[in-house]
Amino acid sequence: MTALLALTKVQLRIIRNDPWFLVIMFGMPLVVMPLFTKTMGLSLQASGFEGATGAEQVVPGQVVLFGFFVGGSVGFTVYREHGWRTWDRLRASAAPSVALLGGFGLPWIVIHVIWQSALFAAGALALGLNFNGGSPIALLLIITGYSMCVIALILLATATFRTVNQLSAFQNVGAMVFGGLGGALVPLEQLPGWARAVAPITPAYWAMRGHQDVFLRGGGVADVLPEFGVLAGSALVISALTVSRFRVDETKEFFA
Amino acid sequence: MSLLGRNGAGKTTMLSIIAGLLVPDAGTVQLDGLDALKDPESAARLLGIAPQETGIYPILTVRQNLEFFGELSGLKASRKSRASEVAEQLGLEQLLDRKASQLSGGEARRLHTACALVHRPRLLMLDEPTVGADVATRLQLIDAVRQLADDGAAVVYTTHYLPEVESLAADIVIIDDGQILARGTQDELIAAHQLRGVRFSVEGVLPHGLAEELNAVIVGDSTYRAVGDLDMRELLRLFGSNADQLTAVESLRPDLETVFLAVTGHRLEADASQDEATSAEEASA
């Protein structure tokens, strides 16, 4: 517990000392969103959501897409410890691997949730996204479930890959493939049949389904519980797999 | 205690095993009556290690680095006061609010060491703490080590730089190929492993085959050291008609270097950066 708390605090402190990555990751989706709002509005209307403005797709879509990039940071922080030669010092504290993983993962889940929430708020202000009867608590559930799932997935990748370049490739390809298949780029209803068939294996699919429930169907907490259950349940299963795979004595290569 | 050995002798491996960073093939690690292999978390509280390569958070300030490593090692409210104390001990008190990325190499090295002792470990292990450090940093680190030892902490200090070992005046353990070959105070080791020998300088090239015959190693420009049952008379006899090549001959006094040679059969390599630092110090003096 000591190591978990100390690591959590130091991760948050590092982010506070250098917040520019998050600032950029907050600005970029806001630049992209207006470019596709009108097109996505037409696309949603063609999918049967009359009166949709497009913000209901483009805001959650960009949050889900960029969420993979922001989540990737948790992996980079682990590799960075090796680059800074601080990893052995952490190991010398004899903290169990669960505490180390938690110390990296938990602060990033919190940051990821805050980052998503801020983008939804900005989307509401800039693009007129509104709940249309949907529940803000339901939205928070989906946001939290997605953050847990993405951070868990990135930590599993970190436990698996030896170099930061491998993680970077996974993060980039993962964002586009998972985001594309999951309905972050175009509405789920517009995806080809084969894509709709495989979409449920991606966290993006369950997040986008939950967001549709909230913003397009006026859904409440009960309506998004299945999606939240899949996201949170997947996060737990992935985390268990990560703990079993993670070897604290494995040397990771950061950028040379 | 100074752990003395060549590169690859097993010094870092030994410290890594004690610190729980490596798992030994066999044997046990006892720390203050505690089996460190069976109870690594309790053992971790007792020890501090500063690995050979500088490991600090460049993005955090000196104070934040010290407080974090203190908290990681179990300090709670006292971590703030300890950070200040340790910073003062290592001459970092003026730099507490400076980011570690803005420190000089020597300052970063001191912070690296300070992070290992912030929680007052019973056993402090410093792996080549002065590698690449300037003269001032080296002196400060050695002073800090002495103070810790005076305060009752056990300090294991690995180096292959003999002047540091001599200035620490601590017990010495000589290690080679993973085996402890000798241990004792400097005086005890010198008394137990006295070697005779000569140091000589020549003009031109050493006559063919003589270096092997003398088992001589080059220690400077045209200067050699030969140890063994050898004195000046024997050296002149071996040089024979080439004796006029000799420009200087000096009998060797037993010291740690000759002890190391006698115990391991090898000459101890000096760290080039430390030699340069010493040369610069001598030049400025």
d(CA B107, CA B103): 6
Compute the distance between CA of residue B263 and CA of residue B217 in angstroms, rounded to an integer.
16
- Shared-domain flag, residues B35 and B90: yes
Burial B185-195 (b: 16+ CB within 10 A, else e): ebeebbeebeb
**Residue B30 structure tokens:** 């006892």
Query: Cβ(A248)–Cβ(A100) under 8 Å?
Result: yes
pLDDT at B108: 94
Same-domain check for residues B100 and B199? no
> What domain count does chain B have?
2
Task: Please indicate, yes or no, if residue A58 is contained in any of the structural domains.
Answer: yes
Q: What is the mean pLDDT of residues B62-87?
A: 93
Q: What order do you get walking across the sheet with B246-251 strand by strand?
A: B216-220, B223-227, B197-202, B246-251
pLDDT band at A60 (very low <50, low <70, confident <90, very high): very high
For strand B2-4 and strand B154-159, is the pairing parallel, antiparallel, or unpaired? parallel
Least Cα distance to B89 among B141, B135, B53 occurs for B141
pLDDT in tens, A129-188: 999 899 999 999 999 999 999 999 999 999 999 999 999 999 999 999 999 999 999 999
Q: What percent of chain A has pLDDT over 70?
A: 100
User: If we measure between CA atoms, which residue out of B249, B247, B190 comes closest to residue B225?
Assistant: B249
In a domain, A256, yes or no: no
Q: What are the structure tokens assigned to A123, written together?
A: 């989307």
- Do B178 and B215 share a structural domain? no
Q: Which of A196-200, B113-117, B242-246, B266-270 has the lowest mean pLDDT?
A: B266-270
Are B55 and B170 in the same domain? yes
Q: Do B64 and A18 touch (CB under 8 A)?
A: no
Residue B121: is its pLDDT beyond 70?
Answer: yes
Tell me, what CATH number does B70's domain have? 3.40.50.300
Would residue A254 count as lying in a domain?
no
> Is B110:B137 a contact under the CB 8 Å cutoff?
yes
Say if residues A224 and A141 touch (Cβ distance below 8 Å): yes
Among B16, B63, B72, which would you mutate to test the A interface (most chain A Cβ atoms within 10 Å of its Cβ)? Answer: B72
A64 Cα distance to chain centroid: 6
Number of domains in chain A: 1
Are B208 and B182 members of one domain? no
Residues B182 and B220 occupy one common structural domain? no
Residues of A with CB under 8 A from a CB of B: 2-3, 5-7, 9-10, 13-14, 17-18, 84-95, 249
For residue A82, what are its two tokens?
């090796």
Last residue of a domain, one of B189, B205, B220: B189
pLDDT of residue B284: 45
Q: Nearest-CA distance from B170 to chain A in Å?
A: 25
Which residue of chain B comes nearest to A18, CA vs CA?
B59
* Ordered alpha helix ranges (H), chain B: 11-18, 40-46, 62-72, 79-89, 105-117, 135-150, 162-168, 186-192, 210-214, 232-239, 256-264, 272-284
**Together in a domain, B265 and B185:** no
Pick the last residue of a domain from B168, B189, B210: B189
Residue B170 pLDDT grade (very low, low, confident, very high; cuts 50, 70, 90): confident
Q: Is residue A111 part of a domain?
A: yes
Of the candidates B43, B47, B55, the beta carbon closest to that of A84 is on B55
Tell me, yes or no, whether A250 lies in a domain. no
Q: List, for residues B183-229, the tens digit of each pLDDT value.
A: 999 999 988 887 778 888 999 888 888 888 888 878 778 888 887 77
**Is the model's pLDDT at B270 over the cut of 60?**
no
Query: Cβ contacts of residue A115 below 8 Å, gap of 6+?
Result: A22, A25, A26, A67, A70
Higher pLDDT, B38 or B268: B38
> Residues B124, B28: one domain?
yes
Neighbours of B284 (CB within 10 A): 7
CA distance B71 to B65: 10
Pair B181, B212 in one domain? no
B277 band by pLDDT with thresholds 50, 70 and 90: very low
* Closest alpha carbon within chain B to A7: B72
The model's pLDDT over A208-246, given as tens digits with 9 standing for 90+, comes to 999 999 999 999 999 999 999 999 999 999 999 999 999
**Whole-number percent of chain B with pLDDT over 90:** 43
Q: Which of A13, A87, A94 sits opposite B20 (nearest CB)?
A: A94
Across the interface, whether the CB atoms of A89 and B44 are under 8 A apart is answered no
Only one residue has tokens 């495989």, namely A198
B229 or A204, which is more confident? A204
Residue among B21, B47, B25, B22 at smallest CA distance from B34: B47
Of residues B177, B192, B205, B187, the one with CA closest to residue B264: B177
- A71 min Cα distance to partner chain B (Å): 20
How many CA atoms lie within 13 Å of A81's alpha carbon, on the beta-carbon side?
23
ipTM of the complex: 0.88
How far is it, in rounded angstroms, from Cα B261 to Cα B228?
Answer: 10
**B116: nearest Cα among B50, B179, B25, B177:** B50
| Cα radius of gyration rounded to whole Å, chain B | 22
What is the average pLDDT across B20-44? 91
pLDDT at A109 over 80: yes
Q: Min CA distance, B84 vs chain A (Å)? A: 18
Residue B267 has pLDDT above 80, yes or no: no
Q: Both B51 and B168 in a single domain?
A: yes
Structural domain boundaries, residue A206: 2-245
pLDDT averaged over every residue in chain B:
86
pLDDT at B272: 45
Do B49 and A92 make contact, defined as CB atoms within 8 angstroms?
Answer: yes
pLDDT over 90 (residue B159): no
Q: In what order do the strands lie in the sheet with B123-127?
A: B47-50, B123-127, B154-159, B2-4, B172-176, B179-184
Of A114-123, B65-74, B189-198, the one with minimum mean pLDDT is B189-198
Report whether pLDDT(A32) > 90: yes
Give B71's contacts in chain A (Cβ within 8 Å): 2, 5-6, 9
| Separation in Å, CA of B23 to nearest CA in chain A | 10
Pairing of strands B172-176, B179-184: antiparallel
Residue B160's pLDDT is: 79
Same domain flag for B137 and B238: no
Q: Which domain holds residue B251?
A: 194-284
B144 and B224 in a common domain:
no
| Alpha-carbon dihedral B239, B241, B242, B243, rounded to 10 degrees | 70
Domain of B215, CATH number, reads 3.30.70
